[in-house]
Homo-oligomer: A and B are copies of this chain.
Amino acid sequence: MSGATFLRLSLVPLAVIVLAFFVLPMSQLIIAGANGPLGLKAYAAILLEPRYRETLVNTVLLSLAVTLATLVISTIAGLFVQRNRFPGRAVLIAMLTFPLAFPGVVVGFMIILLAGRQGLIGEVTQNLAGGKVVFAYSIGGLFLGYLYFSIPRVILTVMAAVEKLDPRLEEAARSLGAGPWAVQRDVILPALTPAFIASSAISFATAMGAFGTAFTLATNIDVLAMLIYTEFTLGANIAMAAALSVGLGVVAWAILALARSFAGAAVAAAG
């Protein structure tokens, strides 16, 4: 039996898996979305119904903000940690990447401990300023929680990209007269662009779909994942929940696909 035959034999399980596992539930989902009282209009309702549209816009804006903040923070931190050797560096890296291991619920929980009604920030501000600052249940808490998720992942991607940078590029730029800022602008940041695109896409897609954090915070801001859950369990509006799910999936997938077409394999690796 040749290697080709061997691989061809794997076609059978593959076909079964793809069909049963990927195609079936996904088409079920799409059909369910069109099977409610609204029919295909359920999909249109995502944009036409103000409550749904607002949630979609909120979610996208929040995800964008998280992505942007993550990029700025992670780039500075990643560059610094990768380029400098100092005592405690290994501990710092471990700490920066620790949140990778936390589920959304725990992150939500941590935000409450930090910025909730009995939280640390509240206590400190009450003692100092007399007013209790509580933002865990607002969009601020969600934003902070999502940052927790994205930063470690993006830092790792940036660090890997910085490690691969040819130090000669920097030296060449300097020999040509470029000062430190010009080197950052013309050499380092452009070289990191694929890593930026890849990790932005992942960060954005994750933020779009995050549920555990939002749910734990029992936030007063509707995000898409929460809306889907509410429609499904509380409103028993299966069709609308399905339509929203498809919409969410398509947006996130499109972002990932777009990033992949720009940055190639980096997205796969970071994904």
| A contact residues vs B (CB 8 Å cutoff) | 1-3, 5-8, 10-11, 13-14, 17-18, 21-26, 28-29, 32, 73, 76-77, 79-81, 83-84, 92, 94-106, 109-111, 113-114, 119-120, 144, 147-148, 151-153, 156-157, 159-160, 163, 170, 179-181, 183-184, 205, 208-212, 215-216, 218, 225, 228-229, 232-233, 241-242, 245, 248-253, 255-257, 265, 268-271
Residue of B nearest to A206 (CB): B103
Name A's interface SS: helix
Shortest distance between the CB of A78 and any CB in chain B (Å): 10
Select one of B80, B156, B208, B256 contacting A7, CB under 8 A: B80
Copy number in the complex reads 2
**CA–CA, A37 to B183, complex, Å?**
57
Q: Is the CB of B153 within 8 A of A100?
A: no
Q: Is the CB of A76 within 8 A of B29?
A: no
List 8 A-B pairs, Cβ < 8 Å: A3-B183, A29-B113, A101-B251, A103-B208, A103-B210, A104-B212, A105-B211, A105-B225
Q: Is the CB of B76 within 8 A of A269?
A: no
Question: Given A22-B95, A92-B18, A101-B252, are A80 and B120 neighbors across the interface (CB < 8 Å)?
Answer: no
